[in-house]
Structure 1
């Protein structure tokens, strides 16, 4: 369903990023990444208070294989 979108300001976008407004049939990434981070790592905002008593990030990947992007050319 079409929509009317107001002003959109994009400061920066990465080389493998997707910026999308409106209807689409398919968005296909051409690169992948795996990110590990601890508790409270990606929090943003004004006056943010994060209390982490004890944090441990499990980076063990049992199957060693993730979903690929082979057909996204």
Structure 2
């Protein structure tokens, strides 16, 4: 199905990232990771002003596994 894409700004693309424009059958990650960050840590843009005051991040995780990924070659 055709699509119209507006303005796009890509600052950087990591080594295992996928950037796709238009039609796609399958996009799947080949790896997974867990990241902990405080309030306002993942804001993006050119002119950001964040006033968070006191911030605390709970990093405790009782699970043994969270995101199980399996890469199938040849698909």
Using structure 1 for the length normalisation, give the TM-score: 0.75
Q: How large is the RMSD of aligned CA atoms in angstroms?
A: 2.4
- Which residue does the alignment assign to 2:52? 52
Distance 1:6 1:59, change over 3 A: closer
* Structure 1 residue 43: Cα displacement: 1.4
Q: Structure 2 CA distance, aligned partners of 1:15 and 1:32?
A: 13
- Which residue does the alignment assign to 1:29? 29
Using structure 2 for the length normalisation, give the TM-score: 0.73
Distance 1:7 1:63, change over 3 A: closer
Number of aligned residue pairs: give it.
72
Which residues of structure 1 form unaligned runs of 5+? none
Q: Structure 2 CA distance, aligned partners of 1:5 and 1:30?
A: 26
Which residues of structure 2 form unaligned runs of 5+? none
Deviation string for 1:16-61 (max 9, x for gaps)? 0001111112111111111110001111334422111211111111
